[in-house]
Structure 1
Amino acid sequence: MFELFTYSLTYQQLSLLIVVAFFIGMAKAGVHGISMFAVPILALIFGGKASAGLMLPMLIMADLFAVKYYHRHANWGFLIKLFPSAALGVLIATFIGNTIDDEIFKQVMAWIIILSLGIMLWMETANKDKIPDYLWFAILMGMLGGITTMIGNLAGSVMALYLLSMRLPKNEYIGTSAWFFLVINVFKVPFHVWSWDTITVNSFSLSLLGLPFIALGIVAGIYIVKRVPDKQYRWLIIAVTALAACFMLV
């Protein structure tokens, strides 16, 4: 048994927490989608809402790594379009989280994952040139991104869909995404602390435990992106994440 402040974890649960931190690092290094697999793992251990608060500091740590390497490539014109509606989405999701119990919260997370997987599957086969790039689409994607990032830290696919529609070069895509998630994740912190009470000194200490493994995940992610065919690992992530989401619904 591993104990840290008010947490008593089995070594199996501690191992899964380390895996989650490792996956978060990999995701920020470019292995997109794998963080969706980390979400249900954490939710099964700690519950839906508590897991969202526990994961958020780990995401911010990883965001700082990503911004450090890609900050020069961000396109702030697109980010300015996203931030206002994303902030509104966070407020809507905060209200929703205060009105439902944890079991329903976890089921909402599972359905968001399944919807995100649907987006990922569609993006594998869609005609990218037909994705709209109008202002209303940016506002809609920003709001959906804000809602899904607050409920379960699950905005990756929504933001990928929007940034894909902007037809950004690879580094600009990564840099813009990195800045979006750093800013919006920091914006979410007060709502987790004072409204949901899901980030405390104890939970932050447990999140901080994942920092070395986030760094290792980033190193592994850079290696994988360079050497493993993109299509193979995307399909593996889709399959495994779908299985994990189904477990959350049972």
Structure 2
Amino acid sequence: MITLFSYELTYLAFVSFLIVGVLVGMSKTGVHGMGMIAVPLLAATFGGKASSGLMLPLLIMADVFGVAYYHRHAEWKHLIRLFPWAILGVLLGTWTGNYIDDQLFRTIMGVIIFLSLGIMVWLERVNKNKIPDYWWFAMILGIAAGFTTMVGNLAGSTMALYLLSMRMPKNEFIGTAAWFFMAVNWFKVPFHIWSWETINLNSVLLDLVALPMIAIGAYLGIFVIKKISDQGFRWFVMTMTAVAAVFMMF
């Protein structure tokens, strides 16, 4: 056993925690799906709701790497459309999170990921050249992204659906997502501290232990994404979403 900042961890749990750091770092520099694998991996050790509080500072630290590298590629018109609705989604997720247990949480997240994946594949095959540039499309997916990121730090598939629908090249996709999650993740912090009480000094100190692993993951992500074409990136995103969905459900 290892004792770190009031946490009693087995060696396997500690290694899993460090692996989560690598996966989160990779996810924030474009390797989509790594974050959705990291969420249930962390939940298996700490429980669903408690792990969401541990995950948030990890994500915020990783956001810094993503924004630092891809900040100039962000499409701000899409961010301006999404932010107000995402804030509403976070508020709904904060309220809902007080009334659902871990099993229901996993079921809801799995269903959301599968539905998102189905829509992404449909858009790719049936509606390939049309961009759904409507206010209501941004509203629905903005609320869904805010809700899923608050309840389980799992908005990656929802944002992927929106950004892929806008036909963004990979760098614009990653840069826009990086800014979106940095802003929304910071907005979530007060709710985790004072409403859910899932973030405290000990949890933040434990998260800092994983910072070197996040940095390694971030640089691995940059290396991997450079090797993938724009079209290959689209299918990579959809494939990794499928893998993450199966991981979450089973």
Q: Name the SS of the counterpart of 1:98 in structure 2.
A: coil
**How far did 1:225 drift?**
2.0
CA gap of 1:114–1:235, structure 2 versus 1, over 3 A, is: closer
Q: Name the SS of the counterpart of 2:152 in structure 1.
A: coil
CA gap of 1:126–1:204, structure 2 versus 1, over 3 A, is: farther
2:14 corresponds to which residue? Answer: 14
2:156 corresponds to which residue? Answer: 156
Aligned-partner residue type, residue 241 of structure 1: A
1:133 corresponds to which residue? Answer: 133
Contact 1:40 1:244 in 2 (8 A): yes
CA gap of 1:9–1:117, structure 2 versus 1, over 3 A, is: farther
Counterpart of 1:241 (choices 208, 233, 244) is 244
Let me know the Cα RMSD of the aligned residues.
2.2
- Note the alpha carbon deviations across 1:208-240, whole angstroms, 9 max, x for none: 111100111112112222346847865763564
Percent of pairs with identical residues: 58
How far apart, in 2, do the equivalents of 1:123 and 1:11 lie? Answer: 44
- Note the alpha carbon deviations across 1:9-68, whole angstroms, 9 max, x for none: 101011111111101111112111121111111111111111111111111111111111
Contact 1:146 1:155 in 2 (8 A): yes
- Note the alpha carbon deviations across 1:84-111, whole angstroms, 9 max, x for none: 1100000001000012234433433343
Q: Once structures 1 and 2 are overlaid, which stretch shifts more, 219-228 or 115-124?
A: 115-124
1:68 corresponds to which residue? Answer: 68
Please report the TM-score for the alignment, with normalisation by the length of structure 1: 0.89
How far apart, in 1, do the equivalents of 2:228 and 2:173 lie? Answer: 20
How far apart, in 1, do the equivalents of 2:52 and 2:119 lie? Answer: 22
How far apart, in 1, do the equivalents of 2:15 and 2:210 lie? Answer: 11
Contact 1:47 1:106 in 2 (8 A): no
How far apart, in 2, do the equivalents of 1:214 and 1:119 lie? Answer: 31
Q: How many residues align?
A: 247
1:92 corresponds to which residue? Answer: 92
Q: Once structures 1 and 2 are overlaid, which stretch shifts more, 113-122 or 68-77?
A: 113-122
CA gap of 1:122–1:2, structure 2 versus 1, over 3 A, is: farther
CA gap of 1:125–1:35, structure 2 versus 1, over 3 A, is: farther
How far apart, in 2, do the equivalents of 1:103 and 1:123 lie? Answer: 31
Aligned-partner residue type, residue 248 of structure 2: A
1:214 corresponds to which residue? Answer: 214
Q: Name the SS of the counterpart of 1:130 in structure 2.
A: coil
CA gap of 1:45–1:119, structure 2 versus 1, over 3 A, is: farther
1:83 corresponds to which residue? Answer: 83
CA gap of 1:174–1:239, structure 2 versus 1, over 3 A, is: closer
**How far did 1:2 drift?**
1.1
How far apart, in 2, do the equivalents of 1:113 and 1:8 lie? Answer: 32
> Structure 1: which 5+ runs fail to align?
none
How far apart, in 1, do the equivalents of 2:249 and 2:103 lie? Answer: 14
1:186 corresponds to which residue? Answer: 186
